[in-house]
Amino acid sequence: MTVFYTASWFGKKKYQKEFDLVRKTIEEFGVKLISTEGGNYQEVLDETTREKLKNEPKLLHYEAIRQGIHLAEAVIIETSHEDFQLGHEASLAIAEKKPVLCLSVNEDLGKRIYNDYFFGAKYTKSTVKKVIQDFLAKARQLSLSKRFNLFLYPHQVEYLQAVAKREGVNMSEYIRKLISLDRRGRSAIMAKKYV
Residues forming a β-bridge with 74: 3
The string of pLDDT tens digits covering residues 120-135 is: 999 999 999 999 999 9
Counted residue by residue, the chain has a size of 195
CA distance 8 to 18: 11
How many C-beta atoms surround the C-beta of residue 153 within 10 A? 8
CA distance 80 to 98: 21
Report the pLDDT value the prediction gives residue 136, as an integer from 0 to 100. 96
pTM: 0.78
Share of the chain above pLDDT 90, in %: 73
CA distance 163 to 11: 43
Report the pLDDT value the prediction gives residue 182, as an integer from 0 to 100. 81
CA distance 185 to 146: 23
Question: Chain-wide mean pLDDT for the chain?
Answer: 90
How many C-beta atoms surround the C-beta of residue 50 within 10 A? 14
Biggest CA pair distance of the chain: 61
Q: Where are the domains of the chain?
A: 2-142, 154-193
Q: CA 87 from chain center: how many Å?
A: 10
Among left, alpha and beta (phi > 0; psi -120 to 50; other), residue 83 is beta
Say yes or no: domain 2-142 is CATH 3.40.50.450: yes
Q: CA 173 from chain center: how many Å?
A: 18
How many C-beta atoms surround the C-beta of residue 38 within 10 A? 15
Q: Which helix (H) or strand (E) holds 95?
A: helix 84-95
Non-local CB neighbours of 21 within 8 Å, separated by 6+ positions? 125, 128
The string of pLDDT tens digits covering residues 41-81 is: 899 998 999 899 999 999 999 999 999 999 999 999 999 99
